[in-house]
């Protein structure tokens, strides 16, 4: 994640930047963050997780969406403009879903760490998702072959071996070793 030289932008300036750029840009509290293109390993992990999410959600009123797809975080009582592009998102309330983005709070978000975005996902986005009440936030770390599962009750679990299991998406579980296997 890189931060442009100017530290704060208006939402209008951000939208202009988006129209003029092919980069993946996120907007958090006036700061614009640029995401690098995902690596091959990142894409493989994302695809495996997306397939498992899709299968776990089959026949249920929720859906899993993969990046690039904008999530405009919005919750009553929480101020600010936050636009993020998670690697995978589970949405159960389709009232905020439109052709361009989702406005609201997803049930679950999964981010896959890259060497250049670790602090962004581990610190900034964790705080952001907790503030907005995302029920479950998975951080998938290919460098350590671990999955961190943060829940809205502020508990977390580090899964290094065996199965990582969702409390939010019933039937969604992954074997950690298999997710990282090439």
Structure confidence by residue, pLDDT tens digits, 21-43: 989 999 999 999 998 889 999 99
Q: Is the pTM of this model over 0.85?
A: yes
Q: What is d(CA 11, CA 41) in angstroms, rounded to the nearest whole number?
A: 33
Cα–Cα distance measured from residue 27 to residue 181, given in angstroms and rounded to the nearest whole number: 33
- pLDDT tens-place string over residues 82-122: 999 999 999 999 899 999 999 999 999 999 998 877 888 88
For residue 112, give Cα distances in angstroms to 5, 17, 19, 76, 95: 26, 25, 26, 28, 27
């Amino acid at each position: 994640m890189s931060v442009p030289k100017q530290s704060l932008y208006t939402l209008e300036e951000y939208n202009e930047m988006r129209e003029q750029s092919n980069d993946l840009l996120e907007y958090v509290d006036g700061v614009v963050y640029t995401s690098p293109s995902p690596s091959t390993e990142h894409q493989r992990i994302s695809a495996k997780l997306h397939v498992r999410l899709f299968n776990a959600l089959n026949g249920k009123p929720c859906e899993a969406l993969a990046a690039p797809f904008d999530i405009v975080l919005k919750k009553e009582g929480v101020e600010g403009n936050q636009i993020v592009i998670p690697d995978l998102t589970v949405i159960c309330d389709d009232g905020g879903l439109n052709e361009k983005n989702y406005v609201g709070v997803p049930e679950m978000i999964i981010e896959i760490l890259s060497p250049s975005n670790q602090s962004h996902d581990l610190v900034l986005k964790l705080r952001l998702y907790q503030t907005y009440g995302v029920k479950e936030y998975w951080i998938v770390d290919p460098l350590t072959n671990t999955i961190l599962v943060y829940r809205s009750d502020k508990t977390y679990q580090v899964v290094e071996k065996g199965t990582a299991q969702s409390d939010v998406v019933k039937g969604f579980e992954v074997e950690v070793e298999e997710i990282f296997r090439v």
